[in-house]
């Protein structure tokens, strides 16, 4: 079992920055691929950024490339999403995802979500 606790959401002005954190416990952190997803009201949950378990490969949705950065800190078992130049289409609930690939398949674990709001 994996437990994820997100923090760092809040209200920010357009053009501002926020850093989301996701504290991970319950499984060896370096066995988990990590991702950040977001879901706005009435929309599907989409992946905005992901990072491999080895910290070698990253993925970014086109809508956030050049503005968001995902990173992971192994000593503290934490994943971060640095969000810069926030826009009016960025507000959503942001969820942290941990993906474990075991011998019988892949399992996803989710945090409770943290709200990001952007004001003009």
- DSSP code at position 103: T
Q: What is the rounded CA–CA span in Å between residue 112 and residue 5? A: 7
Q: pLDDT, tens digit, for every residue of 66-116?
A: 999 999 999 999 999 999 999 999 999 999 999 998 888 999 999 999 999
Model pLDDT, residue 50: 98
28 DSSP β-pair partners? none
Q: What is the rounded CA–CA span in Å between residue 17 and residue 111? A: 21
Q: Up-side HSE of residue 68: CA atoms within 13 Å toward CB?
A: 26
Q: pLDDT, tens digit, for every residue of 6-61?
A: 999 999 999 999 999 999 998 789 999 999 999 999 999 999 999 998 888 999 99
């Amino acid at each position: 079992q994996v437990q994820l606790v997100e923090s760092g959401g809040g209200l920010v002005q357009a053009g501002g920055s926020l850093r989301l954190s996701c504290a991970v416990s319950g499984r060896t952190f370096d066995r988990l691929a990590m991702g950040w997803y977001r879901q706005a009201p009435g929309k599907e949950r989409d992946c905005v950024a992901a990072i491999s378990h080895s910290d070698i490969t990253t993925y970014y949705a086109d809508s956030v490339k050049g503005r968001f950065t995902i990173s992971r800190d192994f000593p503290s078992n934490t994943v971060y999403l640095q969000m810069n130049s926030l826009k009016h289409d960025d507000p959503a609930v942001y969820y942290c995802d941990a993906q474990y690939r075991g011998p019988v398949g892949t399992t996803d674990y989710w945090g409770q979500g943290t709200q990001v709001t952007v004001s003009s």
